[in-house]
Amino acid sequence: MELIRSIPDMQAWPYPAQAKVGFVPTMGFLHEGHLSLVDVARRDCDVVAVSIFVNPAQFGPHEDLESYPRDLKRDLDLLESRGVDLVFLPEAATMYPKGYRSWVEVEELSDLLCGASRPGHFRGVCTVVLKLINIVSPDRIYMGEKDFQQLTILRQMTNDLNIPVEIVGCPIIREKDGLAQSSRNVYLSEEQRHSASSLYRAIMQARKMVANGITQSVKLIDEASQILIESGAELDYVKIVSSDDLSEQDIVEAASRIVIAVRFGKTRLIDNMLLKA
Amino acid sequence: MELIRSIPDMQAWPYPAQAKVGFVPTMGFLHEGHLSLVDVARRDCDVVAVSIFVNPAQFGPHEDLESYPRDLKRDLDLLESRGVDLVFLPEAATMYPKGYRSWVEVEELSDLLCGASRPGHFRGVCTVVLKLINIVSPDRIYMGEKDFQQLTILRQMTNDLNIPVEIVGCPIIREKDGLAQSSRNVYLSEEQRHSASSLYRAIMQARKMVANGITQSVKLIDEASQILIESGAELDYVKIVSSDDLSEQDIVEAASRIVIAVRFGKTRLIDNMLLKA
């Protein structure tokens, strides 16, 4: 496994001719969610590249950039064990040098849901992913569906900007009690960790209601919110949106998705699922 | 010479292996300024691609998108005569389909000079150039120095976003009386066309003063402005800026550049030149 720290070295990397390059961009502190993306890329592609970069541009001024969990040695051991070929490890000062001024924005989609409580977040995500695409030159990018809004926005960006890369969305990996795996789960106290299964329970309750023929979003949202509030979560949003363009839907359709963001103390958790099986 | 109208056809174009691809993006109605870029590309590269696309995203709501001059047949004859290999001719509806939402912006530089009187203009330029790069996949892009701000902004964009393309700036091509060639010169009445040589005369006067040891920007700007006003021009700006970052300079230095934008009636003209030979 090769470790590449410089942008020019990565851009000049001599991939074998015709090799399909699969890429998994991460912020490190890897969990089985990330590793499942690596596994899919390993199965699909000739070369698997992973980046580890805690991207300052996607954190707000009062967010957890400084405290974001890091464990590079463990990350590299995990990636090597899963057969990764290249790990790209840039520094913030080379990704955003003095005088850096260029930003990519996907309008409207970036202001909804998580964008409403995290202004500038998706601008930072779009910009770093475009930079990483230009640096790593992948054919396919593998991303989890946990941040479904991010996946939707990046699909829109690559389509709109004619970026010749395919974005492959992969299923959420969950703990035994249904909590979606996230690097931020480590912030939770034991009690919060226990309570946090409420996101999954809320989603499953909404799906059960839909299976029983209840399709008014307001009823599903009320019930899901109740479960979350009872668990001690502070709601950011509970919504039912189209999987295509994240627009809110009053009545559940084939591609309707429940999307949730809550806080337990300072820790923000998100989850989502299609409502129809 | 191949004419390519669809984005997927252009993206799948089978360039010969190892071929250096030179690209000249244009809005058509070609003049010797454009053709000089083609000539340089032809000399430097194995494949020369030109795009003709009047990009709606870089026109303001009250600007000349509708009346922008067009003559495709003449353009294609000229390009064929200069040995161009490929001409990419996309439609606005495929470049900006319904639901288009992604934009690239170079902050600060886009708000100065022409950006101050044309809000959104450089956002439209950056976005279309990024799209064209992703569609045409050139190694080098050839652009004239007439829009020096555009050149500066696009260099910043390609550096910031790690776009693996080299931007080659080429000298302004002028009419016999010094007027910089521009597709918009056709808008000028005979009298305005005559008066419009004042841009060149103003620049040459400033250069003469610098050669004579006058380096205070305010004096050069006053004298240049006088020449422009006497010719009937309405000033947008006359400034002396750094060629590196377009910052205004009080005293002329090695890389100082005089930049001018004026109107004759509805027609906006720009010009610029290094002040030291």
pLDDT of residue A86: 98
How far B164 CA lies from chain A's nearest CA (Å)? 7
Rounded Cα distance between A120 and B105, Å, is 14
A274 has a pLDDT exceeding 90: yes
In the numeric block, which tokens belong to residue B144? 């004239």
The tens digit of pLDDT for each residue in B165-214 reads 999 999 999 999 999 999 999 999 999 999 999 999 999 999 999 999 99
Average pLDDT, chain A: 97
Continuous H helices in chain A: 7-11, 32-44, 72-81, 92-95, 114-117, 121-136, 148-160, 190-195, 198-211, 217-230
The percent of residues in chain B predicted with pLDDT above 70, rounded, is 100
CATH fold of B2-170? Rossmann fold (3.40.50)
Task: Confirm if A106 and A156 have CB atoms less than 8 A apart.
Answer: yes
* Residue B88 predicted with pLDDT over 80: yes
Distance, CA of A156 to CA of A162 (rounded, Å): 10
Average pLDDT over every residue of A228-237: 98
**CA pair distance B240, B276, nearest whole angstrom:** 12
The pLDDT of residue B277 is 76
In A80-99, the residues whose Cβ lies within 8 Å of chain B are: 99
Are A223 and A209 contacting, i.e. CB atoms less than 8 angstroms apart? yes
Q: List Cα–Cα distances, A1 to A7, A20, A84, A200, in angstroms.
A: 17, 17, 6, 36
Residue B103: which of A4, A234, A106 has the closest Cα?
A106
Q: What is the mean pLDDT of residues B55-68?
A: 95
Sign of CA dihedral A156, A97, B122, B129: negative
Select the residue of A131, A135, A160 nearest B102 (Cβ to Cβ). A160
For A244-271, how does the pLDDT look when each residue is reduced to its tens digit (9 = 90+)?
999 999 999 999 999 999 999 999 999 9
Interface contact flag, A164 B134, Cβ < 8 Å: yes
Residues A116 and A142: beta-carbon distance below 8 Å: no
User: Pairing relation of β-strands A47-52 and A86-88?
Assistant: parallel
Q: Would you say B259 and B113 are in contact if contact means Cβ atoms under 8 Å apart? A: yes
Cβ pair A102:B101 closer than 8 A: no
- From chain B, the residues in CB contact with A156 under 8 A are 101-102
Q: Does domain A183-272 fall into CATH 3.30.1300.10?
A: yes
Residue A6 has pLDDT above 80, yes or no: yes
Residue in A100, A105, A106 nearest the CB of B160 = A100
* Pair of tokens at residue B38: 């083609």
Length of chain A: 277
Give the pLDDT band (50/70/90) at residue B237: very high
| Closest B-chain CA to A126 | B102
Q: Using a CB-CB distance cutoff of 8 angstroms, which residues of chain B are in contact with residue A103? A: 104-105, 107
Active-site annotation of B, residues: 34
Pairing of strands A102-106, B102-106: antiparallel
Q: Identify the CA nearest to B146 among candidates B36, B220, B263.
A: B36
pTM: 0.97
Which positions 220-249 of A are in contact with B (Cβ < 8 Å)?
A: 245
| Best mutation target, A126, A160, A165, to test chain B (most B CBs within 10 A) | A160
Strands A140-144 and A47-52: unpaired
Minimal Cα distance from A135: which residue of B? B162
Please check the confidence at residue B239 and state whether its pLDDT lies above 90: yes
- Residue B218 has what pLDDT? 98
pLDDT, average across residues B6-25: 97
For residues A193-217, average pLDDT: 98
Best A91, A101, A128, A129 member to test B by mutation, with max B CBs in 10 Å, is A101
Contact call for B126 and A162, based on CB within 8 A: no
> In terms of DSSP H, where are the helices of B175-248?
190-195, 198-211, 217-230
pLDDT at A277: 75
CATH number of the domain located at residue range(s) B183-271 in this protein: 3.30.1300.10
Is residue B108 within 8 angstroms of chain A, CB to CB?
A: yes
Rounded Cα distance, B217 and B222, in Å: 8
**Domain chopping of chain A, boundaries:** 2-170, 183-272
Residue type at B238 in one-letter notation: V
Alpha helices, H only, A51-188: 72-81, 92-95, 114-117, 121-136, 148-160
Q: Provide the shortest C-alpha distance from residue A111 to chain B (in Å).
A: 12
ipTM summary value:
0.96
pLDDT of residue B13: 98
Q: Is B166 on the interface with A (CB under 8 A)?
A: no
Nearest CA-CA partner of B2 in B17, B12, B13, B11: B13
Query: Using CA atoms, how far apart are residues B49 and B84, in angstroms rounded to an integer?
Result: 6
Do residues A53 and A75 touch, judged by C-beta distance below 8 A? no
Q: Is the model's pLDDT at A74 over the cut of 80?
A: yes
CB A102: neighbour CB atoms within 10 A? 25
CB contact under 8 A, A101 and B104: no
Distance CA B271, CA B147 (A): 7
Inter-chain residue contact B106 with A101, CB threshold 8 Å: yes
Q: What is the mean pLDDT of chain B?
A: 97
For residue B104, the chain A residue with the least C-alpha distance is A104
B28/B72 Cα distance (integer angstroms): 7
Residues of A in contact with B157 (CB under 8 A): 102
Task: Give the H/E segment covering residue B118.
Answer: none
pLDDT tens profile A32-48: 999 999 999 999 999 99
- Which residues in chain B touch residue A109, judged by CB atoms under 8 angstroms apart? 101
